[in-house]
């Protein structure tokens, strides 16, 4: 603390002091900071699930009305499959997790040992072997699945559940990703045919919930898979500006000190979030709120103003200039070109490293270049330069580009890279 010019404001105990560095809204308490802007900034994290999920009551009730009655005769039910469909940031994941908590609570009241297992296919695996291994691991460490086939893992899992008198509802989030990555695995065929392992007998897996962004993934299924999946679909529409405002208002109350975020600020964030290019992704609204708060704090303001939001929003628009591209070596430019093509063809904000390599090889062939052995290092270099963004091996995108009109942005970028390519 010695490098701060601090004024001791109030002595709160024999060894703790509250300090206020000049021109700052951060009050230091013996080295810990208490912000005048934030009360608990964690409440703005996309991983935090608030107690109330405004405008998703209908969807939670729909899930409860499907699975709730099954608790009455849990020993003789057959599994029900439900699909949740909605664009990004419409609360599919958080609503399903909340539903899981509610149904488990209800089951407990009935003396039933029900568990909700959440699987994210992007994280938990895109092959049956890895996915089922992770499923078994999440349920119990007692089954050693190392030498088992995928079918055998499920068989043992069901036996274990029967023995322990435990019931499961399993959610498979981002199932569209898995099916796109590995359509030949026919994972839906497996997952919807568990009952056939023990024909005629009820199953301890009472429900499976599949989450996807649209129904497009059905195109990759066989007709048999589509039919066992059934028609139980719960839609998650995009939020309107007013709905986003309600959602963010709750978060403001939890995350910020009282009266710090102006009404106008909240309105601006809600409008930006509801309209194109963001199109209702609440995650972006939460980010804007968070970074606007940080900016206000760093600027020494005791209010979060619309101006802070505007500055943050303009800052997160990606701008890659021709100069940036010129400064790259040939391999860097080819990788960037491959990434842009890959993103354009996938239509999403990210592609995997594997897909990037595939597009890279195609572009190399087109430009008659031998693919570099340093591919990974070159990708790393682009990350270090802040040009591309790697959230995981499965998610590589253009820095900040998840938030803009990707199509238009990529078209521009593509033209710039190809221009540079032609000139050199
Ligand atoms: N109705 C709501 N009330 C409160 N917070 C919400 C609501 N809907 C979404 N959120 C918040 O918005 C963020 C994104 O929600 P979530 O992850 O559930 O979206 P998603 O539909 O699963 O998106 P994706 O398709 O990208 O996976 C989370 O931080 C979540 O807490
Ligand atoms: Mg989700």
Domains in the chain with CATH codes: 1-35 (no CATH), 57-235 (3.40.50.300), 239-316 (1.10.8.60), 322-423 (1.10.10.10)
Kindly give the distance from the C-alpha atom of residue 284 to the centroid of ligand 1, in angstroms, as a whole number: 10
pLDDT value, residue 421 = 66
Kindly give the distance from the C-alpha atom of residue 88 to the centroid of ligand 2, in angstroms, as a whole number: 7
Quick one: which atom of ligand 1 is closest to the CA of 94? 18
Kindly give the distance from the C-alpha atom of residue 92 to the centroid of ligand 2, in angstroms, as a whole number: 6
Of all residues in the chain, the percent with pLDDT exceeding 90 is 50
What are 228-276's pLDDT values in tens digits? Answer: 898 899 999 999 999 999 999 999 999 999 999 999 999 999 998 998 7
Q: 12 or 406: which carries more pLDDT confidence?
A: 406
Report strand pairing: 17-20 vs 26-29. antiparallel
Which ligand has the minimum distance to the alpha carbon of residue 46? 1
Closest residue to atom 4 of ligand 1, CA basis: 53
Q: Are 413 and 424 in contact (CB under 8 A)?
A: no
Kindly give the distance from the C-alpha atom of residue 78 to the centroid of ligand 1, in angstroms, as a whole number: 30
Sheet order of strands, 17-20 included: 7-11, 17-20, 26-29, 32-35
- Ligand 1 proximal residues by C-beta, below 6 Å: 46, 49-50, 53-56, 86, 88-94, 213, 247, 282-283, 286
Kindly give the distance from the C-alpha atom of residue 108 to the centroid of ligand 2, in angstroms, as a whole number: 27
Closest residue to atom 26 of ligand 1, CA basis: 88
Closest residue to atom 6 of ligand 1, CA basis: 91
pLDDT value, residue 304 = 96
How many Å apart are CA 27 and CA 267, to the nearest integer? 29
Q: Is the dihedral of CA 184, 349, 340, 378 positive or negative?
A: negative
Closest residue to atom 13 of ligand 1, CA basis: 283
Closest residue to atom 27 of ligand 1, CA basis: 88
Q: Name the DSSP class of 301.
A: -
Quick one: which atom of ligand 1 is closest to the CA of 236? 21
Task: Name the nearest CA neighbour of 155 among 165, 143, 172, 166.
Answer: 143
Closest residue to atom 24 of ligand 1, CA basis: 88
**Probe ligand 1: pick from 55, 60, 94, max atoms within 8 Å of CB?**
94
Which ligand has the minimum distance to the alpha carbon of residue 86? 1
Kindly give the distance from the C-alpha atom of residue 173 to the centroid of ligand 2, in angstroms, as a whole number: 7
H/E run at residue 153: helix 150-164
202 is written with which tokens? 């009820």
181-to-119, 176, 214, 392 alpha-carbon distances in Å? 16, 9, 16, 16
Give the confidence band of 162 by pLDDT, cuts at 50, 70, 90: very high
Q: Global pTM?
A: 0.72
pLDDT value, residue 394 = 86
Kindly give the distance from the C-alpha atom of residue 325 to the centroid of ligand 2, in angstroms, as a whole number: 33
**Probe ligand 1: pick from 87, 282, 349, 392, max atoms within 8 Å of CB?**
282
What are 1-59's pLDDT values in tens digits? Answer: 333 333 333 333 323 333 344 444 544 444 445 789 999 999 998 889 999 999 999 99
Kindly give the distance from the C-alpha atom of residue 106 to the centroid of ligand 2, in angstroms, as a whole number: 24
pLDDT value, residue 203 = 87
Q: Are 281 and 273 in contact (CB under 8 A)?
A: yes
């Amino acid at each position: 603390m010695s490098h701060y010019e601090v004024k001791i404001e109030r002595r709160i105990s024999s060894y703790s002091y509250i300090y206020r560095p000049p021109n700052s809204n951060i009050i230091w308490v013996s080295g810990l900071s208490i912000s005048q802007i934030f009360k608990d900034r964690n409440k703005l994290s996309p991983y935090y699930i608030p107690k109330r999920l405004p405008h998703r009551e209908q969807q939670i009730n729909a899930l409860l009305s499907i699975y709730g009655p099954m608790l009455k005769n849990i020993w003789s039910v057959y599994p029900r499959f439900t699909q949740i469909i909605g664009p990004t940031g419409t609360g599919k994941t958080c609503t399903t997790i909340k539903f899981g908590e509610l149904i488990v609570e209800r089951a407990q009241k009935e003396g039933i040992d029900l568990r909700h297992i959440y699987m994210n296919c992007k994280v938990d695996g895109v092959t049956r072997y890895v996915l089922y291994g992770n499923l078994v691991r999440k349920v119990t460490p007692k089954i050693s699945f190392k030498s088992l086939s995928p079918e055998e893992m499920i068989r043992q899992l069901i036996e274990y559940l029967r023995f322990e008198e435990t019931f499961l509802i399993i959610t498979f989030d981002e199932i569209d990703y898995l099916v796109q990555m590995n359509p030949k695995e026919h994972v839906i065929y497996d997952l919807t045919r568990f009952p056939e392992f023990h024909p005629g007998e009820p199953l301890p897996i009472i429900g499976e919930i599949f989450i996807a962004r649209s129904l497009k993934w059905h195109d990759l299924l066989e007709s048999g898979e589509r039919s066992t999946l059934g028609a139980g679909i719960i839609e998650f529409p995009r939020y309107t500006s007013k709905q986003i405002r309600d959602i963010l208002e709750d978060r403001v109350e939890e995350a910020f000190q009282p009266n710090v975020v102006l009404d106008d600020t909240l309105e601006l964030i809600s409008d930006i979030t509801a309209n194109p290019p963001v199109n209702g992704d609440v995650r972006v609204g939460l980010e804007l709120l968070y970074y606007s708060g940080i900016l206000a704090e760093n600027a020494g303001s005791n209010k979060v103003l619309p101006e802070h939001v505007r500055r943050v929003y303009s800052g997160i628009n990606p701008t890659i200039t021709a100069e940036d591209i010129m400064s790259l070596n040939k391999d860097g430019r080819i990788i960037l070109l491959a990434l842009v093509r890959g993103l354009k063809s996938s239509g999403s904000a990210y592609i995997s490293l594997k897909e990037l390599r595939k597009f890279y090889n195609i572009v190399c062939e087109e430009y008659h270049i031998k693919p570099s052995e340093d591919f990974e290092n070159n990708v790393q270099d682009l990350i270090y330069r802040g040009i591309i963004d790697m959230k995981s091996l499965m998610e590589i995108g253009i820095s900040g580009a998840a938030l803009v009109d990707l199509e238009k942005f990529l078209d521009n970028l593509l033209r710039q890279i190809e221009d540079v390519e032609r000139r050199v």
